[in-house]
């Protein structure tokens, strides 16, 4: 049924969309690479903290492990700011190349690690790539694809990230430490090679006064052969519309000033972006993924940690595929509403189970081998249907073109900072107040997110990426 939904007349597999599909898939290779790095960490951390099982000549303490977990967020903040500044200075394609550099450094530092400081630096480098991908890739894809398929192709970002995380879970659990970098360092190199075949976005080329190159790029991404007068006229009309929109935007001023962020339109969009980032973080999806093993130990489940992690990785992918299929059919808002509503229900249910496991003497032996995993799977599935992938699609679409790159950088830097804070406070909060209270707090925030999205968030399906719509 879901597969049939994507075979509509506006499907991504139509011939005119083929270059857009290939380009979107190619740029998300680096997201897949980043996902492997993220997925490598949870199983490897338990090995590094094991007195007898560390693959290196040292062990990581609990405090060092918490810093290893959180440093990726500080690197992400750096990546948000760095690539947010570079995006309009050197272009989208040059920034894509730049994403591979810190990721290659990440795996080199992992391979040659002699102390915990090497791993600190590695996680920080991984964060730089991750923070940059959240800035560069949604904007790159948004500027090259047709509005009718933009949601699905932008959501490839999350699909490849989750696929990479699943790959990282499996590799880290079953492949020797020093073999993993030797294998996966090939992927960013392949990414650099493939990207050389795709041109810069037409919007950026027009903004940079390279009209001839912009026309070639527009023809490439729209698979336009212009074999007769009618096709040529249609192409010229579409390109003229884009050129006029970009020139109108540029004519305001070539320099973005602070005043541009304080217009009514910009403030409204920026506030929506910030609130979406808060909903994304405090509904707890990313924190739950990082502390899955700790959570299942707290409720004394019988599930093997590695098996559980791999199952959750598969659930992430299923949720993201569902979002990709549905996002351009039903729109962004309905998916966000369904996601936050279902997350709230299942988080509350998990909190209830945790309450009985922690605070009562109830016999849960008949349930603990399957019920906690089932509820957690529904939480992660709900998050990946909406709040995790769709948030970043909506962020790019609601921001005015003039401030889009810098405002995205601001919002995503805040996301990294809030995630860092949550990852640091989640374990002590859980220790002090209990797992049930932690889950109910996330459920409450899901309810607040549902209220905000329902009342205040506009639908952005089909919105032009080049026009500053009111």
- The phi and psi torsions of 308 (rounded to 5 degrees) equal -60, -45
What CATH fold (topology level) applies to the domain 259-470?
Growth Hormone; Chain: A; (1.20.1250)
Q: Tokens 């527009």 identify what position?
A: 218
What φ, ψ does residue 222 adopt, rounded to 5°? -100, 10
CA distance 159 to 380: 13
Burial class (CB in 10 A: 0-12, 13-18, 19+), 2: exposed
Alpha carbon distance 174, 373 (integer Å): 22
At 389, list the tokens. Answer: 């992938």
- Show me where the domains of the chain are located: 10-198, 205-252, 259-470
Question: Residue 316: in which H helix or E strand, if any?
Answer: helix 305-330
Return the SS3 of 200: coil
**Integer CA distances (angstroms), 377 to 37, 41, 358, 364, in order:** 22, 20, 21, 19
**Residue 418 buriedness (CB in 10 A; 0-12 / 13-18 / 19+):** middle
Contact of 220 with 239, CB cutoff 8 Å? no
Residue 298: per-residue pLDDT: 72
Which among 366, 383, 205 is positioned nearest to 284, based on CA atoms? 383
Q: Per-block average pLDDT, block size 10, for the chain (470 residues)?
A: 44 74 91 92 81 81 79 88 86 93 96 92 94 88 81 78 89 90 94 92 86 86 73 77 75 67 88 93 86 73 73 84 80 91 95 87 80 90 88 84 78 86 81 88 95 90 60
Q: For residue 147, give every residue at least 6 positions away whose Cβ sits within 8 Å of its Cβ, in sequence order, or none.
A: 462, 463, 464, 465
**Which pLDDT score, from 0 to 100, does residue 100 have?**
95
* Residue 314: Cβ within 10 Å count: 15
The SS3 of residue 223 is coil
Report residue 203 as tokens.
């919007």
Cα separations in angstroms, 87 against 145, 172, 253, 418: 18, 33, 17, 23
Please identify, in words, the CATH class of the domain defined by 10-198.
mainly alpha
Non-local CB neighbours of 35 within 8 Å, separated by 6+ positions: 160, 161, 162, 163, 164, 165, 166, 167, 168
Within this chain, domains 10-198 and 259-470 share the same CATH topology: yes
DSSP letters, 228-269, are: SHHHHHHHHHHHHHHHHHHHHHHHH-SS--GGGGGSHHHHHH
Q: Which two tokens stand for residue 303?
A: 């599930």
pLDDT of 13 reads 66
Q: Report the distance separating Cα 124 and Cα 120, nearest Å.
A: 6
Q: Which residues contact 146 (CB under 8 A, 6 or more apart)?
A: 16, 17, 20, 222
Give me the numbers of helices (H) and strands (E) for the chain, helices first please: 21, 0
Q: What share of the chain is helix, strand, coil (3-state, %, to 5)?
A: 80, 0, 20
* pLDDT value of position 332: 86
Phi, psi for 363 (deg, rounded to 5): -85, 105
pLDDT reported for residue 337: 95
Query: Dihedral (C-alpha) 197, 203, 208, 209: value to the nearest 10 degrees?
Result: 100
CA 167/CA 143 separation, integer angstroms = 29
Residue 435, both tokens:
């797992």
CA distance 391 to 446: 14
pLDDT at residue 54, rounded to an integer: 82
């Amino acid at each position: 049924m879901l597969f049939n939904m994507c075979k509509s007349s506006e499907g991504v597999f139509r011939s005119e969309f083929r270059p857009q599909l290939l380009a979107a898939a190619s740029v998300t290779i680096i997201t897949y690479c980043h996902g492997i790095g993220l997925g490598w960490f949870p199983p490897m951390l338990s090995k590094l903290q094991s007195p007898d099982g560390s693959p290196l000549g040292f062990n990581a303490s609990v405090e060092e492990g918490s810093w290893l977990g959180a440093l990726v967020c500080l690197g992400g903040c750096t990546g948000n700011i760095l690539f947010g500044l570079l995006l309009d200075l050197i272009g989208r394609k040059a920034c894509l190349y730049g994403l591979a550099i810190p990721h290659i450094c990440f795996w080199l530092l992992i391979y040659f690690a002699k102390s915990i400081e090497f791993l600190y630096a590695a996680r920080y480098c991984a964060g730089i790539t991750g923070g940059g991908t959240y800035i560069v890739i949604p904007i790159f894809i948004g500027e090259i694809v047709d509005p009718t398929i933009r949601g699905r192709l932008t959501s490839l970002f999350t699909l490849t990230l989750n696929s990479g995380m699943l790959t990282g879970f499996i590799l880290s659990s079953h492949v020797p430490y020093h073999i993993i970098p030797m294998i996966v360092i090939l992927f960013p190199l392949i990414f650099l090679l493939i990207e050389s075949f795709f041109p810069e976005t037409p919007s950026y080329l027009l903004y940079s006064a390279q009209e001839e190159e912009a026309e070639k790029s527009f023809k490439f991404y729209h698979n336009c052969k212009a074999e007769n007068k009618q096709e040529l006229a249609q192409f010229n009309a579409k390109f003229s519309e884009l050129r006029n929109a970009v020139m109108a935007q540029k004519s305001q001023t070539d320099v973005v000033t602070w005043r541009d962020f304080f217009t009514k339109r910009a403030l409204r969009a920026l506030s929506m972006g910030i609130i979406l980032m808060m909903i994304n973080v405090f509904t707890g999806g990313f924190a739950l993924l990082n502390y899955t093993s700790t959570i299942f130990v707290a409720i004394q489940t019988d599930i093997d940690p590695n098996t559980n992690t791999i199952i959750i990785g598969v659930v992430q992918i299923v949720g993201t595929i569902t979002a990709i299929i549905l996002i351009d059919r039903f729109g962004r808002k309905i998916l966000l509403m369904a996601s936050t509503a279902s997350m709230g229900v299942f988080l509350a249910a998990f909190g209830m189970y945790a309450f009985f496991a922690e605070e009562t003497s109830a016999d849960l032996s008949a349930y603990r081998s399957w019920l906690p995993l089932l509820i957690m799977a529904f939480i992660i599935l709900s998050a990946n249907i909406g709040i995790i992938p769709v948030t970043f699609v909506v962020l790019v679409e609601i921001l005015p073109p003039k401030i889009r790159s810098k405002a995205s950088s601001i919002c995503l830097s805040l996301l990294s900072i809030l995630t860092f804070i949550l990852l640091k406070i989640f374990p002590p909060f859980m220790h002090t107040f209990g797992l049930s209270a932690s889950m109910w707090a996330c459920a409450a925030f899901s309810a607040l997110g549902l209220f905000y999205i329902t009342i205040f968030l506009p639908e952005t399906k089909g919105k032009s990426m080049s026009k500053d719509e009111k």
